[in-house]
Each structure stands twice: as structure tokens, then as C-alpha cells.
Amino acid sequence: MSTLEEARNVARFIHALSGGAEVRRKAAARELSRRDPLDTNELVGVLISLSRQGWGPATCVLTDFMAALEQEAEHIPHVDVLRRLAHVQSLDTVADLFAQGPAKKEMDADAAARADANAFSQSLGHLKQQARLTRDPDTLSRLATVSNPTVLRNVLINPRLTEDLVVRIAARRPARPEPLIEIWKSPRWSVRHAVRRALAFNPYLPPEIGAKIVPLLNTADLRELVASTSLHSALREQATRLLAEGVDAVRQAVTHAVPARRPDGPHGLD
């Protein structure tokens, strides 16, 4: 079983790794794959709980575990059964990570392709090269509207790209899911709070991706998400549970911090 101390040790170890987001993501995937499914769920559940309590290392590495569940799934042999077992284990905050189904809103792929063709006459290869190398902010802004994910992948590695533009891309509506997923996969941009928030609040993002982002949001974001009728119901329910998890954590902290008075004297006083 994944004890609290074991989860803390795992978080400390991954948090201390050098080499960037990809190294930490792969290390998180190895931690998930070497355990049996029940222990995997318990580890993730404890890390979510520790993060909601505000423990720094867990908050930092939770990003790596969420990315591993999405991007390294093929290297985690039992990933398909985690959702079912999480329900059996009554680990609702873990089961929530495996939301399924279509996004709240969807943009037709043919319509997106026609919009790209009307806006750009260059070949796909030229657009990708331009996206990666252009120094002109206006050109970069125009290329950021392309629905083809390979073009956006190159936009995201352009050194001239700003967080403000990435947030605008992540919040763009209507949108195809593929470019939004590229932003979530970007080690450079997916760690930015404003970018995560824009993705999570975009009704065109598939819920299986949104469910990995919601646990990384802060309390104010979660409250706003719960109140938003434009988002997928699974994400709103997930946010509700995470808020409850945070409230429980605060109650436990207060309980442990304030010892009960000992009624030694006749009036409860020493």
C-alpha cells in the first residue's frame, strides 16, 4: 500500500530531479508502472491530497504525474484498469482523472481545415518552418490560429512566443481539440497557471485532458469552474470533490494544531 510517508518520499525524489519536465514525467511514469494498480491509485490519491493541503513538493510533482498518465500511458501497463479500480477503492478524486466522452462543444474538422485553407495559401511545410522561425509577432499571431497541430507544435517552440499569446490560443473558441492538446503537452507552457486555466475553461478541450488539468488549479479557479455552466459536467463534479478535499485538509490541520483542553480542575482549569 502507498503510505503517506512513501508518497512524500516519491514526491521529494522526483521534485529533486534535474533535467526538466520530460525527465520528471518519465520518472513519474516509472513510479506508476512499477506498482500494482491498487497501489498506483493510492499513490496518486495521496499526492492529490497532499497538494490540496498545500505541501509544495506534492503540488510540483502532481503536474508530472498528470502528464505521465496522459503522455506515458503506453508505458504504464495497467493504466486501463485504474479508473475501474479507483471506484472500487472509493478513490473518487483518482477516478475523476479518467473522464471520458466528447467535449462540451466540438468544432467540425472539415470546417477547421477550410478556414486554414482560406487564411493560408502556403504549403504545410512552409507554415511549419515559418511558425518555428519567424521573428515577426504579427505573423506568429496569425500562425497561432492554424488548427493543424503540427503547425502549432512549431509555434510553441518559437523563442519569440509570449505567454499572453499562448493563453489566447488556449482560450480560443471555436477550436479543434488537437491544438489545445499540443499546448497541454508543451513542457514550456503547460506549467504556466494562466495557460492551464485557459485550457481548463475552454469547452472545446476533451474532458480526458481537462480532468488531468483540474487538480492543478487553485481554489479560486475550482470555485469558478464549479459555477460555470459552459463546461463539461464531469469537470465541474471533479472540481467540487477537490474543493471538499481541501476543506477536509484544513479541518484536519486545525484539529491537529489545537489540542483539546484538559479539564483537571472543577471548572476545567489547572
Let me know whether 16 and 92 are in one domain.
yes
Q: Look at residue 186 and tell me if it is in a domain.
A: yes
Q: How crowded is residue 130: how many other Cβ atoms within 10 Å of its Cβ?
A: 20
Let me know whether 114 and 59 are in one domain.
no
Let me know whether 141 and 181 are in one domain.
yes
Let me know whether 31 and 77 are in one domain.
yes
Q: Look at residue 223 and tell me if it is in a domain.
A: no
Q: At which of 161, 186, 205 does a domain end?
A: 205
Residue 96's closest CA among 252, 243, 215, 183? Answer: 215
Residue 149 is predicted with a pLDDT of 96
Residue 258 is predicted with a pLDDT of 44
Residue 269 is predicted with a pLDDT of 39
Q: Look at residue 131 and tell me if it is in a domain.
A: yes
Let me know whether 94 and 143 are in one domain.
no
Let me know whether 115 and 198 are in one domain.
yes
Q: Look at residue 26 and tell me if it is in a domain.
A: yes
Angle at CA of residue 118, ends 116 and 124, nearest 5°: 45
Model pTM?
Answer: 0.89
Q: For every residue of 199-263, which 3-state class applies, written as one string?
A: HHCCCCCCHHHHHHHHHHCCHHHHHHHHHCCCCCHHHHHHHHHHHHHHHHHHHHHHHHHCCCCCC
Quickly list DSSP for 17-85: --S-HHHHHHHHHHHHHSS-HHHHHHHHHHHHHHHHTT-HHHHHHHHHHHHHHHHSGGGSTTGGGHHHH
Q: Look at residue 177 and tell me if it is in a domain.
A: yes
Q: At which of 79, 98, 117 does a domain end?
A: 98
Q: Look at residue 151 and tell me if it is in a domain.
A: yes
Q: What is the pLDDT along the chain (270 residues), one digit of tens a residue?
A: 458 999 999 999 999 999 999 999 999 999 999 999 999 999 999 999 999 999 999 999 999 999 999 999 999 999 999 999 999 999 999 999 999 999 999 999 999 999 999 999 999 999 999 999 999 999 999 999 999 999 999 999 999 999 999 999 999 999 999 999 999 999 999 999 999 999 999 999 999 999 999 999 999 999 999 999 999 999 999 999 999 987 665 444 444 444 444 444 444 433
H runs (alpha helix) in 55-192? 56-71, 82-88, 92-95, 109-119, 124-133, 137-143, 149-155, 163-171, 177-185
Q: At which of 205, 224, 257 does a domain end?
A: 205
Residue 261 is predicted with a pLDDT of 43
Let me know whether 90 and 115 are in one domain.
no
Residue 227 is predicted with a pLDDT of 97
Q: Look at residue 35 and tell me if it is in a domain.
A: yes
Let me know whether 135 and 51 are in one domain.
no
What's the total number of domains in the chain?
2
Let me know whether 52 and 135 are in one domain.
no
Length of the chain in residues, anyone? 270
Let me know whether 113 and 194 are in one domain.
yes
Let me know whether 148 and 79 are in one domain.
no
Let me know whether 87 and 27 are in one domain.
yes
List the domain range (segments joined by +) for residue 52.
4-98
Angle at CA of residue 218, ends 216 and 220, nearest 5°: 145
Q: Look at residue 248 and tell me if it is in a domain.
A: no
d(CA 70, CA 141): 28
